[in-house]
Amino acid sequence: AQKITQTQPGMFVQEKEAVTLDCTYDTSDPSYGLFWYKQPSSGEMIFLIYQGSYDQQNATEGRYSLNFQKARKSANLVISASQLGDSAMYFCAMREGTGGTASKLTFGTGTRLQVTL
């Protein structure tokens, strides 16, 4: 079973509008972290935002916020006031457990976001 599922291969949004990128996850571990990364066409991976499984509030970082619904096992990324520079691939990822072999990040397949004028 996929640990991270991103069901939107591509999304379009108009400049200045908000957009939600979906992410669902699968784990039986009570302790986990959820991350979003941005990969622009230049190829680098940029860390955007983190949500811990025990966090009571949704994470926010500037124009990025994470809509964390634990019971539904979803961690959707919301980008407000989209800018042309937001056009990129966006990856959701999860880190389970604490340390050791559970230390790695598992990635979804990504969503390509295109911001239009």
Partner 1 sequence: NAGVMQNPRHLVRRRGQEARLRCSPMKGHSHVYWYRQLPEEGLKFMVYLQKENIIDESGMPKERFSAEFPKEGPSILRIQQVVRGDSAAYFCASSLSTQNNSPLHFGNGTRLTVT
Query: What is the contact surface with partner 1 in residues (CB under 8 A)?
Result: 31-33, 35, 37, 43-47, 50, 52-53, 91, 95-110
Q: Which is nearer to partner 1, 40 or 81 (CB)?
A: 40
Q: Which is nearer to partner 1, 15 or 26 (CB)?
A: 26
Q: Which is nearer to partner 1, 18 or 62 (CB)?
A: 62
Q: Which is nearer to partner 1, 19 or 59 (CB)?
A: 59
Distance of closest approach, residue 17 Cβ to partner 1, in angstroms: 26
**What is the spatial distance between Cα 84 and Cα 81, in angstroms, rounded to a whole number?**
10
Q: Is the dihedral of CA 94, 75, 110, 62 positive or negative?
A: negative
Distance of closest approach, residue 72 Cβ to partner 1, in angstroms: 20
Q: In the chain, where do the E strands start and end?
A: 4-5, 10-14, 19-21, 24-25, 32-39, 46-52, 60-61, 64-69, 74-79, 88-96, 106-107, 111-116
Residue 92: alpha-carbon gap to chain centroid: 4
